[in-house]
Amino acid sequence: MKRTTGLFAALFFLSCSIQAGVYKHVDEHGNVTYSNVPSGNAKKIALPPLVVVPSVDSGDVEERIAKRRETMKLEEQREQIQSKITAEEKRLGELKSEYKDGNPDRLGSERNYQRYLNRVERMREEIDAREKNINGLKKELQELSGSGK
């Protein structure tokens, strides 16, 4: 019986020394030292328990990351196309207000009527080109939206 009691006592003291903990010691110069061995004026630090996170299948994570990158890429492309559409519509509005349904104001440098007619024709061509650009961009945006779903 004494032998068993002695064995339990030895195991108890051994387990106490194993669960020593972490100690913080500050010397006279202000240097901080952390150790698992207590020294003269070291204070024991209470550490929070360790959190164990289960492993994740990396293949699934890689797939989700790839999908997210693709989604972000599509969103960026949509934003770029939308900003181009907005810029084209703004310029188209400016051109149409200046064009005044084919009767824009004559400029002082257009004393020659043919210069005026040439400018009106260039304006009409630019309006047509901007409208085609807007339609093409909207079509591209629709195709992009269809492929992102």
Q: What is the pLDDT of residues 30-49, one digit of tens each?
A: 899 888 888 888 888 888 88
Q: What is the pLDDT of residues 89-114, one digit of tens each?
A: 999 999 999 999 889 999 888 889 99
Q: Mean pLDDT highest for which of 5-9, 26-30, 129-133, 144-148?
A: 129-133
- Output the 3-class SS for the chain: CHHHHHHHHHHHHHHHHHCCCEEEEECCCCCEEEECCCCCCCEEECCCCCCCCCCCCHHHHHHHHHHHHHHHHHHHHHHHHHHHHHHHHHHHHHHHHHHHHHCCCCCCCCCCHHHHHHHHHHHHHHHHHHHHHHHHHHHHHHHHHHHCC
Give the chain's mean pLDDT. Answer: 85
pTM: 0.55
